[in-house]
Amino acid sequence: STQTQLVARPVGWPTAADFRTVQVTLPDLAPGQVRVANEFVSVDPYMRGRMNDAKSYAAPYALGATMTGGAVGRVIASASDAVAVGDVVVHQHGWRDLVQEDASGFRVVPEIPGVPLSAYLGVLGMTALTAYVGLLEIAGLKEGDTVFVSGAAGAVGTMVGQIARLKGAGRVIGSAGSAEKVALLTEKYGFDDAFNYKDGSLANQLAAAAPEGIDVYFDNVGGDHLEAALGAFNNGGRAALCGAISLYNSTDAPAGPRNMSNIITRGLSLKGFTVGNYVQHFPAFSADMSGWLANGEVVFDETVVDGIDNTARAFLGLMRGENTGKMVVRTA
Ligand code: NDP
């Protein structure tokens, strides 16, 4: 099995030298185990936090151990009654091509004609569930709301924009880091307006896109984006604090939004969440999303990096914005 391990804790921006790729020989199957050939493995921004030796909602990755994370693959050998050879399974043993573990860690999923297996890591998986929960449960989207989402061309952001529209938002605005991504938001994903956050004042660009203010902010970025949203909120506005990727590699203590008093004067609600605490919404999400996908009401992009040896490189690319939609690694 080809596996990628964390060998040093990054300080600031991670580099290729923080990882190594190793060959591991798998032993014979023990009773209850399955062997799975991964087809796609996921790289995700939250993994950056787990590379630090800091207490958080997920334990730090161990140095010298193989990285873990979402993956989808096919069972090639089974010593368990629960899982059969040929089954497609979703699991958390990523960053490797072959995995052998107890069957209890694998969830069997159906193959859907016309939908790649990688969808289980994005549009049918964790990142789209995050968008669904954050928008509907955490921010309490109401019909007619003006919604602003940062990181809008990413895995979570592209879903936020589309779910907002499908659930009755009045106006949907997104920010992203390139002209190509901004064009895609309005042309493919149905955003009413979008802007490049690298193009100048966030506050001015947001005010131009939302002249009547915003009611909901879905925050993937934190920092300046959160400050701009606090400045644009209408009374009673609600924010789902999902991520703060602009801060994940910073070595200085971040500056706080300087306009926190707007929370008081405008009666705003800001609520953070981690999707792992909201998995009870998976059935409702799954029913909605599979319907939307089948009807063509939701579209998605994936940036596919080939080769399990390139998993660390894919992760570094994700942090730099090289992806549109969900970043995945194809093992084959
Ligand atoms: P994305 O697919 O959005 O990929 C990350 C993107 O972040 C890049 O493509 C890049 O796009 C953008 N980015 C990088 N640096 C900056 C910066 N300094 N300012 C603004 N944008 C930046 O990843 P995900 O959709 O998987 O995750 C999006 C966010 O949601 C992350 O913050 C993540 O941590 C969070 N998250 C939270 C979960 C939860 O349970 N709370 C679950 C899943 C994700 P660009 O080119 O536009 O800069």
| Domain spans of the chain, in order of start | 2-122+301-330, 126-276
In this structure, which residue's CA is closest to atom 2 in ligand 1?
154
Cα of 217 vs centre of ligand 1, distance in Å, is: 15
CA of 204 to the centre of ligand 1 (A): 22
So what's the pLDDT on residue 253?
A: 86
Q: What is the pLDDT of residue 254?
A: 84
Q: Which of 126, 156, 248, 328 to mutate to test the pocket of ligand 1 (most atoms within 8 A of CB)?
A: 156
In a structure prediction context, what are the per-residue pLDDT tens digits for the chain, which is 332 residues long? 999 999 999 999 999 999 999 999 999 999 999 999 999 999 999 999 999 999 999 999 999 999 999 999 999 999 999 999 999 999 999 999 999 999 999 999 999 999 999 999 999 999 999 999 999 999 999 999 999 999 999 999 999 999 999 999 999 999 999 999 999 999 999 999 999 999 999 999 999 999 999 999 999 999 999 999 999 999 999 999 999 999 999 999 888 899 999 999 999 999 999 999 999 999 999 999 999 999 999 999 999 999 999 999 999 999 999 999 999 999 98
Asked if 240 contacts 220 with a C-beta cutoff of 8 angstroms, the reply is no
Cα of 20 from ligand 1 centre, angstroms: 24
Tell me what pLDDT residue 17 has. 98
Which residues contact residue 256 at a Cβ distance below 8 angstroms, ignoring those fewer than 6 apart? none
Q: Is 126-276 a CATH 3.40.50.300 domain?
A: no
pLDDT at 101: 98
Residues ≥6 apart with Cβ < 8 Å to 220: 149, 150, 151, 152, 154, 156, 157, 242, 243, 244, 245
Q: Do domains 2-122+301-330 and 126-276 have the same CATH topology?
A: no
The pTM for the full model equals 0.98
Q: Which are the contacts of 74, defined by CB distance < 8 A and separation ≥ 6?
A: 36, 37, 39, 86, 87, 88, 89
For the CA of 176, the closest atom of ligand 1 is 47
Nearest to 99 by CA among 40, 42, 38: 38
The tokens of 84 are what? Answer: 């059969």
**What is the number of the ligand 1 atom nearest to the C-alpha of 153?**
47
Ligand 1 pocket by Cβ (under 6 Å)? 44-46, 127, 130, 151, 153-157, 176-178, 181, 197, 220-221, 242-243, 245-246, 273-275, 318, 321, 323, 327
For the segment(s) 2-122+301-330, the CATH number from 3.40.640.10, 3.90.180.10, 3.40.50.720, 3.40.120.10 is: 3.90.180.10
